[in-house]
Each structure stands twice: as C-alpha cells, then as structure tokens.
Chains A and B, each alone.
Chain A
Amino acid sequence: MPALAREQALPAGVARPRRRRARREGLTAFGFLLPNGLGFLLFTLVPIVTSLALSFFAWPLTSSPTFVGADNYVTLLTRDRVFHQVLFNTLYYVFVYVPLNLVVSLGLAVWLSGRVRGANLFRVLFFLPVVTPMVANALVWSLMYQPREGLFDWLLAAVHLPGPNWLGSFEWAMPSVIAMSVWAGFGYNLMVFTAGLRAIPRDLYDAAAVDGATRWQQFWRVTLPLLTPSLFFALVLTLISSFQVFTQPYVLTGGGPADRTTTLVLSMFDNAFQFYRMGYASAIAWFLFVLIMLVTATQFLSQRRWVHYDL
C-alpha cells in the first residue's frame, strides 16, 4: 500500500490538513456516487425489498393487500398444478437450451479459430441474431413455423415427411421455442469463446504437435482445459439468462398449447398483469430469484473441480 506509507511518512504537524482533505475526499465521493446511488436505491434496492414483502401478501390490485404469510409460496409449491407445469417447462427449456447453445458456440468458435478465411465475417453473421430485436427474430420464425403453409413444413413435405404443427402441438412447441432461441443466442458465447481462445498461447499447440498429438488430442488436452474459465463464465451467464426466458414463448406461442411453453417469467407476467395478482406474481419472481441463486452458487462451488485458472 504505497499511499498509506506516504501518509505515515508525513510529519505530525501535517495531520490536521490531512484530515480535512480526507473529509473533502469523502464529500467528493459522496457527490460522485449520489446520482447513481439515488437512482439505484429508488429503482433497484427499494423494489427488491418491496417485491419480497409483496410476496407475503394477497393483493388482487382492485382491493387492498392482505398479509397471508407464506401462503403464496405454499400454494405455488403444493397446490398450483399450472405452476408445476410452468416449472417443468422452464427446466426443460434450460436443460436443453444451455447445452445446445454451449456446444454450438464452442464448436464454431474452435472451428473459426483455425485457418479460416473471412473468419471475422462469419463471426459477425453468427452474431447478428444476438443484437436484432428478439420480437422481430421471433416473428420471422413464427412465420416459418406456420403449419402446412410455412417454410419448414413445406421443406418436410418436399421430402415426403409429415410436417408437424410446430408451435401448436404438445410435443413440438417447446423444442421449436428452444431451436429458435439457440439460433438467436449462440452468437454471444461464440464471441466469449473466441476471446478465450485468443488468450491461449500458440506455442502450447506447437509443443503438443511436436509431441505427436493429433488435432483431436490437442483440443481435449490443450484447448478445453485452458478454455475452462471462459466455459465457466458462459455457463453461468447462459444459465441465468435462460431461466429468465420470456420474449420467445410470449411471441411464438403465448405460452400455449395448454401452458406447455409457459415459463416462469411468462407466468409471473400473466399473474401480475393479466390477472392482477400482484402478491402471487411477486412470489413467482422470488421463486425464480432463489432458483437462479441456487444454480449459480452450485456453479461457483463446483468450479474448483473443473475450472483451471492457472496456466
């Protein structure tokens, strides 16, 4: 701590102005933090606390809130059949979407990190759906998913296969939402992995090649272990964001058919802003929050076993 050493070296007589300076610095810091801090307090911290409090009330918005203790949570976990379906849907989405996203983005990142001409152009093309508005992305997929007349069903009919009702059938609705989401999302992790790959020193591969390692062995023994920090980062962020999926099912299926694609956030939205059950919806939001925290904590606890930060 060089700053501390410098201050200690000052003669005793300079103590007073130093204290005044510290006070002035404190005021400066306060002034700098005030705009962000005030907004943060009002629009983030207070709402978080309010939301938690709300989740212990029944509040049909038309009347005043009544305290119900843990009733909302008990109902969610034990009695609400629709919510059980919603929870299942969300886990279905997360556990299929996340591995698909990571495999596709990692595969393409590694592929493009080799000798590929125009690799950057490819990356930009793969990245585009990440930044275009999700509503627009979902709308064009909705067009392609149209039963019978849509592009996908026509393609299947061309090879004499029966085209399913992608968004309208129990079996296909969720896979269709997932497929569209992977398309829209993998480009982000592609960039994350590309950055990670660039940080791996070339000479490690040269050394591996000299030792007679095949490309395949190089991938498993050099690339993958050294990429684990990026993998960890991508896994955690993709998990968190996939638990929060909303726009894709909202636009593509509206949660249907028969709630087969209603996710936690969609259910929270419906409860709060269609049925005006503010307390119940807040309980769903906190359920989601706790779920995300648990999953993230598990990731952080397990990282010691598979993430290599040392080179």
Chain B
Amino acid sequence: MTSERVRLKPGPVASHLLLACLALAVIFPFIWMVATALKPDAEIFAQPPSLIGSQVRWGNFVQAWNYVPFGRFMLNGFLVASLGSVVVLATSALAGYAFARVPFRGREALFVAYLGTLMVPQEVTVIPLFLLMKQLGWVNSYQSLILPWAFTAFGTFLMRQFFLTIPRELEDAARIDGASRLRILWSVMVPLATPALGVLAVFTFINYWNSFLWPLIIVNSQDVATVPLGLNMFHGQYSTAWNYLMAASTISMLPSVLLVIVLQRYLVQGIALTGFGGR
C-alpha cells in the first residue's frame, strides 16, 4: 500500500473532477470560438449545435485574414505595443532610479505628486488628449497610439520600489571606481532588476495590445488600426460572418495566450510584484 493509493479517496477525486469541469466551462468560450471559426457559413447556428461542422474549414482563417487587412492590424499592434513598451521601460527605469537613489531637493514631494495621479482614471484624460492630438495633426497615427501612455507613474513607481530593494553596496563599488550614474544604472541596476523590468514589459505590451477605448477615439483608418479596433471594424461591417469573425478573434488572442503559457511559472509572483510589493 503506497501513500499514493491512499490519497485517491473519493473526496479528492470528486474535487479534481469538479475543478476540471469548472476549468472546461471557463475555457469553453475559447473552444466555441475556434469551433465556430472552422464551420461552414450555413452551420454557424445549426440546430442542434455541434463542435465540429460537416466540414472543417481551415480556409476560414485565410478568408478572415483577407476579408479585412488583419495582417496589417497585427503588424500595427506589434509595432505600437513593442515601441510603447520600450519607451515605458526606458523612461520608467530612468525616473525610478532617480527617485530611488539620486538625492535632490523636493524628491519626496515630487514622488507623492506622481503617486497621486495613479488614481486618475484614463477617461479623465482622453478628451483633452484627443483635442491635443487633433491640434498636433496626429489623429490616425502611430505616435498618437503610443505616446500618451508611454510615460507612466505606474512604471516609475514599480521601478523605484524595486531599485530600493537592491543593496546600496552593489553600486557603491562602482561609484568608488568613478562610474557615472547612467553607467551604474545600465550595468549594475538594470541587470539586477530584470524581474521587475520583465513584469513591466509584459504588462505594458499586453495593455497596448488589448487597449480599445483610446484607439477607438483616435483612429478610424484601417492603416493604423490595432487588433481590437480591427475586430470592432470587422464586427461592424460583416456582423453576420461569425465564422470569419471568430477566426480573426482566435488569431487576435495568440500573442497573449503564448505569453501566458511561456511565463506561467511567474504569473503569481509577477502579479504580486506589480500589486503590493512587500505586502
């Protein structure tokens, strides 16, 4: 009799079964999405519904890709999300380091002012931002999608908190050798802060990728539309082509799903890090 055997009592088995059912229910909308994406037009609302239609039409994905310029939306999304993440990381690391380590007058007051704006909802700024972008002639442009969200109090806060946990002695050695602050930040602090930078990069990328309200306001051209906006345009134009729409939706989810699968081991720590630092 091994302990493994003993553990297979009815209680735990039922618990695992129930959990499996719940998990299936939670991912079922995704299964239904893919199932619908592969069905022939006439069978989308077939009664009774079935997961697999009379044919499995992989061609629907090609159709969806061609129906609207979905490749373009993906490219735009990648461009906006990656460039945005780079700017967020660079400016947050610089400012976070200054707040954590470089002494200057009024540092605490300025930091508190930064923190105060964390509470301001995005909705408060979008109308003036729209007017500003119009003034600058930036409506329907990549910079209008990237720049307003690239200088964040959140990133600065996150990086400052993380830099504060790095022992001072590690940079003291470099300072005695006469290294500049920038050099210390780049070759001592940044390597030590990869967990925080990684979390910030992933969160920023996903936020840009999924962002909807702002692109809806500032972009109405297919040339610069990001993926959620493209899906919405698709929905507006071909609202009954559910199989193509679901094919496009499936594609739109791939980057986020891949990121989560690759980073699954760090999910809990990552969220704890962004959320409540020490506690």
Could you list which residues of chain A lie within 8 angstroms of chain B, going by C-beta atoms?
3, 22, 25-26, 28-30, 32-33, 35-40, 42-48, 50-51, 54, 108, 111-112, 115-117, 120, 122-129, 131-137, 139-141, 143-144, 146, 149-151, 154, 158, 183, 188, 191-192, 194-195, 198, 229-230, 233, 237, 240, 243-244, 246-247, 250-251, 265, 268-269, 272-273, 278, 281-282, 285-286, 288-289, 292-293, 296, 309
**Given A47-B132, A50-B128: A36 touches B91 (CB 8 Å cut-off):** yes
Asked whether B104 lies within 8 Å of A43 as measured between CB atoms, the reply is no
Find B213's partner among A123, A137, A246, A296 (CB 8 Å cutoff). Answer: A246
Name which of A3, A38, A50 has the most chain B CB atoms within 10 A of its CB.
Answer: A50
List B residues 89-116 near A (Cβ within 8 Å). Answer: 90-92, 94-95, 97-99, 102-105, 107, 110, 114
Q: How far is the CA of A37 from the CA of B129 in the complex (A)?
A: 17
**Given A25-B102, A40-B151, A124-B264: A133 touches B231 (CB 8 Å cut-off):** yes
Task: Pick the interface stretch among B52-60, B64-72, B265-273.
Answer: B265-273
Find A140's partner among B29, B216, B227 (CB 8 Å cutoff). Answer: B29
B2 close to A (CB within 8 Å): no
Q: How far is the CA of A51 from the CA of B217 in the complex (A)?
A: 16
Name which of A44, A124, A285, A289 has the most chain B CB atoms within 10 A of its CB.
Answer: A44
Chain A residues near B121 (CB-CB < 8 A): 240, 243-244, 285, 288-289, 292
The total of Cβ contacts below 8 Å across the A-B interface reads 267
Q: Name the distance in Å between A274's Cβ and chain B's nearest Cβ.
A: 11
**Given A32-B97, A37-B95, A51-B124: A122 touches B23 (CB 8 Å cut-off):** yes
| B206 and chain A: residue at smallest CB distance | A131
**How would you classify the secondary structure of chain B's contact residues: helix, strand, loop or mixed?**
helix
Chain A residues near B265 (CB-CB < 8 A): 120
| B120 and chain A: residue at smallest CB distance | A48
Q: Name the distance in Å between A103's Cβ and chain B's nearest Cβ.
A: 14
| A61 and chain B: residue at smallest CB distance | B131
Q: Name the distance in Å between A221's Cβ and chain B's nearest Cβ.
A: 21
Asked whether A293 lies within 8 Å of B125 as measured between CB atoms, the reply is no
Q: Name the distance in Å between A143's Cβ and chain B's nearest Cβ.
A: 6
| A282 and chain B: residue at smallest CB distance | B127
Could you list which residues of chain B lie within 8 angstroms of chain A, going by C-beta atoms?
7, 12, 15-16, 19, 22-23, 26-27, 29-30, 32-33, 36, 45, 47-49, 90-92, 94-95, 97-99, 102-105, 107, 110, 114, 117, 119-132, 147-153, 156, 181-182, 185, 206, 209-210, 212-213, 216-217, 227-228, 231-232, 235, 242, 245-246, 249-250, 252-253, 256-257, 259-261, 264-265, 267-269, 271-272, 275-276, 279
**How would you classify the secondary structure of chain A's contact residues: helix, strand, loop or mixed?**
helix
**Given A32-B97, A124-B260, A131-B260: A188 touches B271 (CB 8 Å cut-off):** yes
| B230 and chain A: residue at smallest CB distance | A135
Chain A residues near B91 (CB-CB < 8 A): 35-36, 39
Chain B residues near A151 (CB-CB < 8 A): 32, 49
| B217 and chain A: residue at smallest CB distance | A273
**Given A50-B128, A134-B228, A136-B231: A125 touches B29 (CB 8 Å cut-off):** no
Asked whether B272 lies within 8 Å of A51 as measured between CB atoms, the reply is no
| A196 and chain B: residue at smallest CB distance | B272
Asked whether B206 lies within 8 Å of A51 as measured between CB atoms, the reply is no
Asked whether A43 lies within 8 Å of B124 as measured between CB atoms, the reply is no
Chain A residues near B99 (CB-CB < 8 A): 33
Asked whether A120 lies within 8 Å of B264 as measured between CB atoms, the reply is yes
Q: How far is the CA of A135 from the CA of B251 in the complex (A)?
A: 13
Asked whether A244 lies within 8 Å of B217 as measured between CB atoms, the reply is no
Asked whether A47 lies within 8 Å of B125 as measured between CB atoms, the reply is yes
Asked whether B256 lies within 8 Å of A247 as measured between CB atoms, the reply is no
Q: How far is the CA of A158 from the CA of B217 in the complex (A)?
A: 43
| A244 and chain B: residue at smallest CB distance | B121
Chain A residues near B119 (CB-CB < 8 A): 240, 292-293, 296
Name which of B117, B182, B267 has the most chain A CB atoms within 10 A of its CB.
Answer: B267
| B254 and chain A: residue at smallest CB distance | A132
**Given A141-B29, A149-B47, A233-B276: A131 touches B259 (CB 8 Å cut-off):** yes
Asked whether B156 lies within 8 Å of A48 as measured between CB atoms, the reply is no
Asked whether B16 lies within 8 Å of A117 as measured between CB atoms, the reply is yes
Q: How far is the CA of A268 from the CA of B128 in the complex (A)?
A: 13
